[in-house]
């Protein structure tokens, strides 16, 4: 009896493996979804050799899911995001002289303990966070599957971003947030600026690339790191909440330098600040667990 | 938790136990550490001021029946532990009974197949590793010399379980016993199989839901000779990325071979191993030692002296080829080198290199690469030549002397940018002398020096040379007192030429040990069995109590 | 949590289980240096005491202890009939060094391998060295954590105490 039992286990085991042969790509997949977008916050650093793998993963996810995926590259941490320190090594090639870290990025990084868990690392809509730690830190190889799960969730809000040039360099940004269902609880709106196509140094595997293209880089926040209240009243299906922010393009770089984390190299915000490459990203999150419920992105200057 | 405790209790109570044969025992450990900020060594203060790791093991056994549990408390975990160890709980509990050669375990268990190449579930408190399985295990002894083990379960990660479901079976046959051979030479054959199920969820690439690994082993013994060889293979196990370059459909493999000969006064061991794309994780997408389920032993000597272990080797499961040779010899009493009590020496050589060009097997729709079986690349990961001499001079004086030369590829082993730190080449000398003052009173002085040289490095922040001295006074059977200082006098950054001073005081009685320490710890890498963790620098007071009953 | 442990303990006592003062060896298999499986409960020294010492090739105080005892082991055996069982907890990284080390050191002990620490856990050993003294009936009567130079004398006193 016992012998035959063991034998059955053995046969069961030998069948349990899926040895595959190429081609490995499966192009039969279907994208569902119901209007919900997903924010991938990619915590990264210019001297982190594995970080470009995460950036490429985001591009691959964009390729599959299109504009439903919105991402932010948040440069954070000390060891790898730090500019080249000329007090301890010479820097004839002027490598890594810039510093993409911002006080907002650092605040978010500290709150969720991302760079402390090793880079690259990220959060998908900030799900799975709890006061006691939680499982919100996601390795980039997890992003695709979690993103797919998120896209399938019910959508609670719709966000519409409008930016208009009022005078000179002043731009008014209007965010209309529509409740698609009635909700209780507190919700906040965060609005930030990201920049694409910044060409500067990045360690990529064993190679130091002077012409690396940095995308979706978090540059500035128009709210605080934890946002503005969506409303103080109850939320009913169909309500639209309107928030307006005003920015002056000529002040942006200076404003950002003042909010840079740079410690030992003066102004590190080298490169970039091309208004044509700037995007507005707005998201709404649930104050009780920080989960991002909806996110939208639009280029700052209407093309 | 209460429920768990009650369940265990009910199990206990439902057994009619013969009082004579039942017993309860266990062990307890408490580790408290305070953290004081110290900018010179980059040590941070903990918000909690004091951090705590503690656990209590309880084992109850009666005849063929055993239940056990471990209560663990991290309030909050010491800084060198993963911060996901947080809170209290009973993450480990089990019940086992054996009858007629069959042993059944339900709940948590630790298991290892062969040398661990495809599966090892174990705990190593010092590293914060505990990947205990939770499930059911059967061990069965079928007749003479044949034993079978099989299990199904999930592996622990911190206070939860990883997604992968593991199924495993392992069999071992003692050929001589089974077939009644009266040979001088003994043959033991073994085979194991592991399969991990994890749901597929990649929209772009085909992902195997069931990943299998298997291994075969052979052990031949004859007199002083002992040969052990094991070969392991893992089928394709890509991660869950959407980028083709990240998707690796290659299979993995590893082997280990050792041959040992020993006789009175002499012993030699020669080993070779190779690993290629042979990492088996409990969740395919996760990074971190908590998820590693196989164990490829590091092919270098585990060192106990501080400066020998400052640059430790860790196995590169993705690809490496290593060789190691150990020679043990005892010069007999009364000979020239042996002196009055004999002299023992141990010579150890090891060398670990990368596999050829790409470094490991790679296979997807565009690339197909398999390194040749015994190929290796010029890229050296680690090498170590060391000689240890152990001698008792007379009734009062004993010493241990070690000379070593190590090469450590810091860029690669620590994931730095190539060329930044290069390879560290260090020459180390150690003298460890004990002097017995009178019955029970011993003083021990240890002096160590490390002279470092960098190869292919541009960084100007290398640590460079170290010296260390330690004095320890012990009074048997209860007391010890030690003071030590590590001095990084050769640091290239002059502001970091620091002393790391530590004072320790301990009291031992029977199976209880109290220890209080105060001092600074250097930031570094701490390894056990080739698995390593990064230890942050710290400054503060440490209290530890361990006790066993 | 602490409450539930207290609860557990009180209920354990109240549900009528009484524990004997005797502590036996656990039902765990280890390997001999010859590759055979060996159940630790089968240890036997014909009614004489036994010492079980947990050690590892990488553990300095363990080797110190066993080397110190090795010098006087012959005397100990003649006087008390004691047998020393050395359980190596070396895992597969250093397991192949155990036999050469033991033989080159001229140890006369019975050496067993506990490569995934099953016996170590079952006996409540958290750190090595840890030494147990077993009486003629196979019960653990004394144990000791750690090793300080000279501790072997205390162990010997305990052994003598047993055979008196």
Is residue B68 scored above 50 in pLDDT? yes
Is residue C129 scored above 70 in pLDDT? yes
The residues, ordered by sequence, that sit 6+ positions from B150 with a Cβ below 8 Å of its Cβ are: A6, A9, A13, B137, B138, B167, B168, B169, B170
Is residue B265 left, alpha or beta, with left meaning phi > 0 and alpha meaning psi from -120 to 50?
left
Is residue B176 scored above 60 in pLDDT? yes
Contact state of B365 with A133 under an 8 Å Cβ cutoff? no
Is residue A64 scored above 80 in pLDDT? yes
Q: What is the DSSP letter of B210?
A: E
Please tell me the total count of domains within chain C. Answer: 1
Which tens digits make up the pLDDT trace of C48-82? 999 999 999 999 999 999 999 999 999 999 999 99
Strands (E) located in chain A? 38-44, 69-75, 121-124, 129-130, 133-134, 157-167, 170-179, 187-195, 198-204, 207-214, 217-221, 228-229, 240-248, 278-286, 292-299
Q: CA B402, B407, B411: angle at the middle one, nearest 5?
A: 140
Right CATH number for B100-297 from 1.10.10, 2.60.98, 2.40.160, 1.10.3470?
2.40.160
Which tens digits make up the pLDDT trace of A277-290? 999 999 999 999 99
- Residue recorded with tokens 């909050």: B76
**Short-list B465, B420, B523, B423, CA closest to A89:** B420
**Short-list B415, B547, B537, CA closest to B488:** B537
Q: Is residue A271 part of a domain?
A: yes
Q: Is residue A60 part of a domain?
A: yes
Which tens digits make up the pLDDT trace of A156-206? 999 999 999 888 889 999 999 999 999 988 999 999 999 999 888 898 887
> Contacts of residue A2 in chain B, CB cutoff 8 Å?
102, 140
Q: Is residue C77 part of a domain?
A: yes
Q: What is the mean pLDDT of chain A?
A: 84
Q: What is the mean pLDDT of chain B?
A: 89
The pLDDT value given to residue A266: 45
Which tens digits make up the pLDDT trace of C104-122? 999 999 999 999 999 999 9
Using a pLDDT cut of 70, give the percent of chain A over it: 87
Q: Which CATH number belongs to the domain containing residue C155 in this structure?
A: 3.40.30.10
Local confidence band at C16 (pLDDT 50, 70, 90 cut-offs): very low
Give the mean pLDDT of C13-18.
47
Domain span holding position A141: 33-154+188-223+250-281
Q: Is residue A23 part of a domain?
A: no
Q: Is residue A81 part of a domain?
A: yes
**For residue B391, what are its two tokens?**
């001698």
Highest mean pLDDT: which range of A231-245, B78-92, C16-30:
A231-245
B31–C contact, CB cutoff 8 A:
no
Q: Is residue C123 part of a domain?
A: yes
Contact B141, B147 (CB under 8 A): yes
C100–B contact, CB cutoff 8 A:
yes
Local confidence band at C9 (pLDDT 50, 70, 90 cut-offs): low
Domain span holding position C126: 24-163
Task: Show me where the domains of chain B are located.
Answer: 100-297
**Short-list B427, B417, B318, CA closest to B383:** B427
Contact state of B365 with A23 under an 8 Å Cβ cutoff? yes
B286–A contact, CB cutoff 8 A:
yes
Give the mean pLDDT of B164-169.
95
**For residue B233, what are its two tokens?**
């293979």
User: Chain A window 191-210: which residues touch B at a Cβ cutoff of 8 Å?
Assistant: 203, 206, 208
**For residue A118, what are its two tokens?**
């090793």
The pLDDT value given to residue B8: 57
Is residue A239 scored above 80 in pLDDT? yes
The residues, ordered by sequence, that sit 6+ positions from A76 with a Cβ below 8 Å of its Cβ are: A43, A44, A45, A101, A105, A106, A108, A109, A114, A115, A119
Contact B371, B360 (CB under 8 A): yes
Give the mean pLDDT of B27-42.
88
> Contacts of residue B512 in chain C, CB cutoff 8 Å?
145
Give the mean pLDDT of B428-453.
94
Using a pLDDT cut of 90, give the percent of chain B over it: 59
Contact A77, A71 (CB under 8 A): no
**Short-list B238, B254, B235, B211, CA closest to B355:** B254
Which tens digits make up the pLDDT trace of A4-14? 444 445 555 55
Q: Is residue A28 part of a domain?
A: no
Please tell me the pTM assigned to this model: 0.87
In DSSP notation, B424-437 reads EEEEEEEEEEEEEE
The pLDDT value given to residue A275: 85
Cα(first)–Cα(last) distance of chain C, in Å?
46
Q: Which CATH number belongs to the domain containing residue A86 in this structure?
A: 3.40.30.10
The pLDDT value given to residue B170: 96
The pLDDT value given to residue A262: 63
**For residue B367, what are its two tokens?**
């690339």
Give the mean pLDDT of B326-353.
92
Please tell me the total count of domains within chain A. Answer: 1
ipTM of this predicted structure: 0.90
Chain B closest CA to A236's CA: distance in Å?
Answer: 35
**Pairing outcome for strands B512-521 and B524-528:** unpaired
Contact B407, B382 (CB under 8 A): yes
Contact state of A141 with B239 under an 8 Å Cβ cutoff? yes
Closest residue of A to B159, CA-based? A134
Q: Is residue A64 part of a domain?
A: yes
C14–B contact, CB cutoff 8 A:
no
Chain A closest CA to B140's CA: distance in Å?
Answer: 9
Which residue has better confidence, B281 or B454?
B281
């Amino acid at each position: 009896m016992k012998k035959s039992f063991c034998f059955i286990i053995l046969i069961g085991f030998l069948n349990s493996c899926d040895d595959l042969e190429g081609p490995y790509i499966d192009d039969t997949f279907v994208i569902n979804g119901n209007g919900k977008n997903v924010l991938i916050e990619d915590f990264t650093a210019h001297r982190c050799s594995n970080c470009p793998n995460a950036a490429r993963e985001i591009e691959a996810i964009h390729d599959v899911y299109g504009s439903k995926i919105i991402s932010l590259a948040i440069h954070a941490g000390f060891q790898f995001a730090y500019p080249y320190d000329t007090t301890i090594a010479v820097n004839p090639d002027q490598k890594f002289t810039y510093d993409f870290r911002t006080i907002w990025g650092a605040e978010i990084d500290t709150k969720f303990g991302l760079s402390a868990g090793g880079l690259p690392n990220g959060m998908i809509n900030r799900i799975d966070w709890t006061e006691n730690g939680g499982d919100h830190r996601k390795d980039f190889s997890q992003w695709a599957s979690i993103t797919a799960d998120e896209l399938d969730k019910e959508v609670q809000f719709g966000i519409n971003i409008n930016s208009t040039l009022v005078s000179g360099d002043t731009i008014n940004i209007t965010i209309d947030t529509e409740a698609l269902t009635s909700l209780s609880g507190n919700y906040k709106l965060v609005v930030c600026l990201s920049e694409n196509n910044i060409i500067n140094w990045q360690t990529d595997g064993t190679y130091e690339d002077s012409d690396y293209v940095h995308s979706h880089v978090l540059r500035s926040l128009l709210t605080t790191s934890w946002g503005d209240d969506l409303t103080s009243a109850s939320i009913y299906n169909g309500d639209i909440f309107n928030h307006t922010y005003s920015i002056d393009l000529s002040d942006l770089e200076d404003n950002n330098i003042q909010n840079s984390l740079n410690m030992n190299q003066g102004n590190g915000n080298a490169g970039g600040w091309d208004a044509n490459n700037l995007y507005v990203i707005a998201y709404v999150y649930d104050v009780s667990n920080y989960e991002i419920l909806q996110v939208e992105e639009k280029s700052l200057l209407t093309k | 938790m209460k429920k768990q405790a009650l369940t265990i209790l009910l199990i206990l109570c439902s057994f009619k136990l013969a009082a004579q044969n039942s017993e309860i025992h266990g062990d307890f450990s408490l580790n408290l550490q305070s953290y004081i900020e110290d900018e010179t060594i980059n040590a941070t203060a903990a918000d909690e001021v004091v951090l705590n790791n503690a656990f209590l093991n309880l084992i109850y056994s009666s005849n063929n029946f055993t239940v056990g549990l471990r209560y663990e408390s991290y309030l909050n975990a010491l800084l060198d532990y993963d911060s996901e160890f947080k809170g209290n709980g009973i993450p480990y509990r089990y019940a086992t009974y054996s009858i007629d050669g069959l042993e059944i375990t339900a709940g948590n268990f630790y298991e290892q197949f062969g040398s661990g190449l495809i599966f090892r579930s174990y705990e190593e408190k010092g590293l914060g590793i505990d990947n205990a399985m939770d499930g059911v295990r059967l061990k069965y002894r079928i007749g003479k010399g044949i034993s079978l083990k099989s299990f199904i379960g999930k592996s622990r990660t911190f206070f939860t379980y990883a997604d992968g479901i593991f199924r495993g079976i392992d069999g071992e046959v003692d050929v001589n016993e089974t077939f009644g051979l009266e040979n001088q030479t003994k043959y033991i054959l073994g085979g194991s199989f592991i399969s991990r199920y994890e749901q597929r969820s990649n929209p772009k690439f085909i992902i195997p839901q069931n990943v299998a690994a298997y291994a075969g082993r052979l052990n031949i013994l004859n007199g002083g000779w002992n040969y052990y060889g094991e070969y392991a293979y893992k089928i394709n196990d890509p991660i869950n990325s959407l980028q083709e370059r990240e998707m690796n459909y290659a299979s993995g493999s590893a082997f280990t071979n050792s041959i040992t000969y020993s006789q009175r006064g002499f012993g030699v061991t020669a080993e070779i191993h190779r690993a290629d794309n042979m990492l088996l994780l409990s969740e395919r997408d996760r990074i971190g030692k908590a998820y590693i389920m196989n164990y490829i032993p590091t092919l270098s000597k585990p060192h106990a002296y501080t400066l020998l272990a400052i640059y430790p080797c860790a196995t590169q499961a993705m690809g490496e080829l290593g060789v190691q040779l150990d020679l043990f010899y005892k010069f007999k009493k009364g000979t020239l080198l042996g002196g009055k009590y004999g002299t023992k020496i141990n010579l150890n050589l090891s060398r670990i290199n990368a596999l050829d060009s790409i470094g490991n097997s790679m296979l997807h729709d565009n690339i197909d690469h398999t390194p040749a079986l015994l190929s290796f690349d010029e890229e050296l990961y680690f090498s170590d030549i060391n000689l240890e001499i152990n001698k008792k001079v007379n009734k009062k004086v004993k010493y241990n002397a070690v000379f070593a030369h190590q090469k450590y590829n810091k860029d690669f082993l620590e994931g730095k940018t190539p060329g930044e730190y290069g390879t560290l080449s260090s020459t180390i000398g150690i003298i460890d002398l004990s002097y017995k003052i009178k019955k029970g009173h011993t003083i021990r002085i240890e002096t160590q020096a490390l002279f470092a040289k960098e190869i292919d490095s541009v960084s100007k922040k290398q640590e460079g040379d170290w010296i260390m001295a330690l004095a320890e006074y012990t009074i048997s059977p209860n007391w010890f007192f030690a003071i030590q200082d590590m001095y990084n006098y050769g640091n290239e950054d002059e502001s970091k030429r620091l002393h790391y001073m530590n004072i320790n005081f301990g009291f031992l009685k029977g199976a209880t040990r109290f220890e209080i320490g105060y001092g600074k710890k250097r930031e570094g890498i701490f390894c056990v069995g080739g698995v390593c963790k990064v230890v942050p620098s710290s400054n503060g007071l440490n209290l530890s109590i361990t006790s066993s009953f | 949590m602490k409450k539930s442990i207290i609860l557990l303990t009180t209920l354990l006592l109240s549900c009528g289980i009484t524990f004997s003062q005797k502590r036996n060896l656990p039902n765990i298999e280890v390997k001999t240096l010859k590759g055979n499986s060996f159940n630790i409960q089968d240890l036997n020294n014909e009614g004489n005491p036994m010492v079980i010492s947990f050690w590892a090739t990488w553990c300095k105080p363990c080797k110190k202890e066993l080397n110190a005892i090795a010098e006087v082991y012959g005397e100990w055996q003649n006087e008390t009939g004691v047998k020393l069982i050395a359980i190596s907890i070396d895992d597969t990284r250093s397991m192949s060094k155990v036999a050469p080390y033991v033989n080159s050191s001229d140890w006369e002990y019975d050496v067993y391998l506990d490569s995934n620490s099953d016996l170590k856990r079952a006996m409540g050993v958290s750190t090595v060295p840890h030494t147990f003294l077993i009486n003629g009936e196979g019960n653990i009567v004394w144990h000791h954590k750690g090793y300080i130079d000279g501790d072997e004398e205390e162990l010997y006193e305990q052994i003598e105490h047993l055979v008196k």
